[in-house]
Amino acid sequence: MGLIVQKFGGTSVADADRIRNVARIITETYRRGHNVVAVLSAQGDTTDDLIAKAAEINPNASKREMDMLLSTGEQISCSLCAMAIEAMGYPVISLTGWQAGMRTNSTYSNARIKRIATERVLAELDKKAIVIVTGFQGINKYDDITTLGRGGSDTSAVALAAALHADLCQIYTDVDGVYTADPRHVQGARKLEEITFDEMLELATLGAQVLHNRSVEMAKRYNVNLEVISSFSGKPGTKVKEVAKTMEKSHVSGVAKDKNVARLALVGLADQPGIAFKIFSLLAKEHVNVDIILQSIGRNDTKDISFTVSKQDMELARKVLEENAESLGFDRIDFNDQIAKVSIVGAGMINNPGVAAAMFEALYSAGININMISTSEIKVSVLVDINDADRAVQVVHDRFFSDFGVGN
């Protein structure tokens, strides 16, 4: 007997049948003697539809009003789910973010949870009720509704699990776990039994869509016992934890692809101190997030600096640098948004120097050129032409995960 937080994503609650299915999962858990807190997303495309509705009225609506609007999606799915559970004869109550004590900062549309006042939820659990909480939202110091950013319900669930000291936080979704690569696009992708928080964080940040990356960060910080599982198949999912038992065996846990990348290169900069500082502080001032940075060795008193940003930031980055062309002193800016980032992630690669080479060899054998490379303790990323990206993921995945693969 314990406390379990279960989160259900938009596809899991998309229509009446699916809501009944979720109600069944929740009540089965309850019947086994657990306290259950369920966190729900809005049904299907509700959030997108609400955004479109707002745009019809006012494309520049304030973020405060957007949050007021978007938070209603979760209110619908939660009340409907509570009704389904009522109809099954179980004690249940649905609560909005503010009723559940989710206090956030005031960054409308991308708020951070500051603390959770758990009294109400605990009181309901004490009364033996199943508690259904709206994901994705909270309330700020002005008592205004805030939302946590797209995909934020995962973070609501993990935060509740941490605050309630839950025994388990299950993220129910439309895939049955975390895969070695996107199973819809990569042949031979396998479900992982376990993955570490750090690996999951890298994968989530690198574009694997299973979990909101802030939820993984929070799960790691509070050591929340986390599991990703399908609401349709009923099969065991993937456990996300501090140390995974498979870590020793396999060097690589997953291959990820991110097509939202653009590369800029400043060519012919003076080879003197302070240049990198100037460039990246200009970009930071404009809130441009820079990912991979590469500086060439100086030659004839000049050097080049290349870096990547998200596609939507490319124009802004270019503009800022061009406006400062004189003080920075470069010959020209090259830019390219027809590229993608392909990465391998694995906690086990720290002590295995051959892993990066195995990845490069797989790309070389497929005739795929690498534009840029960056590494961390548990990740190797390369930039490739966007037209090579899918093939790159496949050959790298084959190299590490096919039955004949020797890299793992």
- Which CB sits closer to ligand ASP, 152 or 346? 152
- Which of ligand ASP, Mg ion, none does 135 bind, CB closer than 5 to 8 A by kind? ligand ASP
Q: How is residue 378 annotated by DSSP? A: T
Of the pair 41, 196, the CB lying nearest ligand ASP is at 41
Binding residues for ligand ASP restricted to 42-71, rule: CB under 6 A: 42, 47
Per-residue interface string for the shown chain with ligand ASP, residues 73-112, x marking contact by CB under 6 A: x---------------------------------------
Provide the total of helices (H) and of strands (E) in the chain, helices listed first.
Answer: 12, 18
- 10 Å Cβ neighbour count for 404? 6
Contact 359, 369 (CB under 8 A): no
Site stretch for ligand ASP (CB under 6 A), options 149-157, 298-306, 359-367, 393-401: 149-157
User: Closest separation between CB of residue 53 and ligand ASP, Å?
Assistant: 14
CB of 317 to Mg ion, least distance (A): 29
Residues lying near Mg ion in the complex (CB under 5 A) are found at: 9, 151
**4 to 23: interface string for ligand ASP, x by CB under 6 A:** ------x-------------
Query: What DSSP string runs through 35-87?
Result: EEEEEE--STTHHHHHHHHHHHH-TT--HHHHHHHHHHHHHHHHHHHHHHHHH
Q: Give the shortest CB-112-to-ligand ASP separation in angstroms.
A: 15
CA dist., res. 130 & res. 287, Å (int): 43
Nearer to Mg ion, 96 or 153 (CB): 153
Contact indicator for 133, 125 with CB cutoff of 8 Å: no
CB nearer to Mg ion: pick between 9 and 407: 9
Assign residue 317 a region: left if phi > 0, alpha if psi is -120 to 50, beta otherwise?
alpha
> Nearest approach, Cβ of 10 to ligand ASP (angstroms)?
5
Q: Does 41 bind ligand ASP (CB under 6 A)?
A: yes
Structure-token pair, residue 45: 């495309």
From candidates 44, 97, 135, 346, binder to ligand ASP by CB under 6 A: 135
Tokens representing residue 52 in the block = 């479109």
Give kind and range of the element (H or E) at residue 383: strand 379-385
Least distance CB 34 / ligand ASP (angstroms) = 23
Nearer to ligand ASP, 154 or 398 (CB): 154
Q: What is the nearest approach in angstroms of ligand ASP to the Cβ of residue 41?
A: 3
Q: How far is the CB of 122 from Mg ion (least distance, A)?
A: 27
* 230 vs 375, beta carbon nearer ligand ASP: 230
Least Cβ distance, residue 287 to ligand ASP (angstroms): 21
Going by C-alpha positions, the residue among 361, 356, 350, 283 that lies closest to residue 316 is 283
Burial group, residue 80, by CB count within 10 angstroms (0-12, 13-18, 19+): buried
| Selected binder of ligand ASP within 64, 112, 150, 278 (CB under 6 A) | 150
Size of the site for ligand ASP (CB under 6 A): 11
Structure-token pair, residue 235: 């099969």
Cβ density class 243-263: b for 16+ within 10 Å, e for less: ebeebeebbbbbbbbbeebbb
Structure tokens at 382: 């390369």
Name residue 303's beta-bridge partners: 269
Q: Which is nearer to Mg ion, 13 or 36 (CB)?
A: 13
In the complex, which residues of this chain contact ligand ASP (CB under 6 A)? 10, 41-42, 47, 73, 135-136, 150-153
